[in-house]
């Protein structure tokens, strides 16, 4: 009987702590819904998040929520070409600087246009997350949106992280 009581209390605590965190996100979402619908730069977006939130999970949720509410998926044919990236470098430091500029430019373009494709969404989140002190990682990959593509190798795409 004692083990059942302890187990019951542990389950209640687990459920209660999950509920408390969900309530935190309700507050975060409510705060973010009052943000401007546009920001002129990733720096200004990040500054707003840093002003309003201190916990890492709240900052991440605030960035996610604002992007989800305010950035539209760009279905236009021009959207694919907008993400074409080419650059050259001579040293690892030049490569790092070039990649940081490309990422920042894509994040700011996504903010300015208020629309983007997967890469734009990911870069906007990553750049703002970095500016508020969070670690994030963009995972590159290929999506299969047509059943006929399943099992086929993806077309060769340039890889920013491949060097």
| Comparison of pLDDT for 72 and 88, the residue scoring more | 72
Quote the CA–CA distance of 138 and 125 in Å, as a whole number: 9
Whether 84 has a pLDDT exceeding 80, the answer reads no
| pLDDT band (50, 70, 90) for residue 20 | low
Q: Which pair of structure tokens corresponds to residue 82?
A: 């907008």
Quote the CA–CA distance of 154 and 75 in Å, as a whole number: 20
Q: Which pair of structure tokens corresponds to residue 100?
A: 């940081």
Quote the CA–CA distance of 66 and 34 in Å, as a whole number: 10
Task: Compute the average pLDDT of residues 43-49.
Answer: 98
Asked whether the beta carbons of 129 and 136 are under 8 A apart, the reply is yes
Q: What is the pLDDT of residue 33?
A: 97
Task: Compute the average pLDDT of residues 43-60.
Answer: 97
The rounded Cα 27 to chain-centroid distance in angstroms is: 20
Task: Compute the average pLDDT of residues 21-29.
Answer: 78
Whether 13 has a pLDDT exceeding 60, the answer reads no
Domain residue ranges in the chain: 23-138
């Amino acid at each position: 009987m004692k083990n059942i009581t302890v187990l019951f209390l542990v389950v209640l605590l687990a459920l209660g702590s999950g509920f408390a965190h969900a309530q935190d996100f309700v507050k975060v979402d409510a705060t973010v819904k009052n943000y401007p619908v546009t920001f002129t730069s990733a720096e200004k977006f990040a500054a707003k998040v840093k002003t309003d939130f201190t916990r890492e999970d709240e900052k991440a949720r605030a960035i996610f929520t604002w992007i989800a509410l305010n950035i539209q998926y760009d279905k236009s044919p021009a959207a694919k070409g907008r993400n074409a990236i080419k650059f050259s470098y001579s040293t690892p430091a030049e490569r790092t600087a070039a990649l940081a500029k490309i990422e920042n430019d894509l994040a700011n373009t996504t903010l300015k246009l208020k629309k983007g494709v997967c890469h734009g969404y990911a870069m906007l989140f990553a750049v703002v997350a970095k500016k508020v002190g969070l670690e994030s990682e963009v995972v590159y990959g290929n999506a299969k949106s047509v059943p006929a593509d399943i099992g086929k190798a993806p077309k060769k795409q340039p890889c920013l992280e491949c060097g």
